[in-house]
Amino acid sequence: MRVFIAMAVMLALTASSVAMSEPGDRSSGDSIRGAKYFSDNCGRCHNPRAPTEHRDRDWSIIITHMRITAGLPGQQARDIYAFMAASNNPPPLILKKTGVAPTTLSGTQMVDQYGCRGCHKIGGKGGVIAPDLQGVFERRDEGWIRTQIQHPRQHNPQTVMPELGLTDDQVAAIVEMLREKLH
């Protein structure tokens, strides 16, 4: 009987792994939806973990395990994996662009693109595993807020907040958007 149960578990793990995208393929998952699922589901049972705590391959195995133990649906698993992998591998910091006009995104667009509301509540909407940003300008000065957005590990080396490689101008746009939304 034990052999049968062990074989059934192995078969389920294999089937679940095959249903997951290849570890490097994030094309079938949506990182913004994944951030919300991560905030709404994973954070309820687990202490939030920094995406950099594990490599992408490890997250693939962990999420496959959660498909079995927690009944995580396939698309949600792919979305959470896309979020973890995107957070684990932030875009490189580009210090200077030459000959090309910079792409300008608004603070709101960047907050949406990077899935900030997956963890933070901003203007009454968003996640609950990171601080609610309502009143952040009363609790912290603007310099602290800018540093937290651009280099979160400077304040707390164990934070789960990813460093996204944002430029000073991008951080300024996000801070301005937060000031407008939260005041």
Give the pLDDT of residue 2.
55
- pLDDT > 70 fraction of the chain, expressed in percent and rounded: 70
Kindly report the CATH class assigned to 107-182. mainly alpha
Cβ partners under 8 Å of residue 132, min gap 6: 120, 121
Instruction: Give the three-state DSSP class for 182.
Output: helix
d(CA 35, CA 94) in angstroms, rounded, equals: 24
Q: Which has more confidence, 103 or 89? A: 89
User: Where along the chain do the CATH 1.10.760.10 domains lie?
Assistant: 107-182
Reported as a single tens digit per residue, the pLDDT across 63-75 is: 887 888 778 888 8
Residue 4's pLDDT band, with cuts at 50, 70 and 90, is very low
Cβ partners under 8 Å of residue 94, min gap 6: 165, 167
Give the pLDDT of residue 3.
46
- β-pairing verdict for 125-126 and 121-122: antiparallel
Contact at 8 Å (CB) between 78 and 28?
yes
Residue 117's pLDDT band, with cuts at 50, 70 and 90, is confident
Q: What is the DSSP string of 74-114?
A: HHHHHHHHHHHHHHHSPPPP-----SSPPP---HHHHHHHT
Q: Which has more confidence, 157 or 13? A: 157
- pLDDT exceeds 80 at position 39: no
Which tokens go with 149?
């957005």
Please classify residue 149 by burial: count the beta carbons closer than 10 Å to its beta carbon, then call 0-12 exposed, 13-18 middle and 19+ buried.
Answer: buried
Give the pLDDT of residue 173.
93
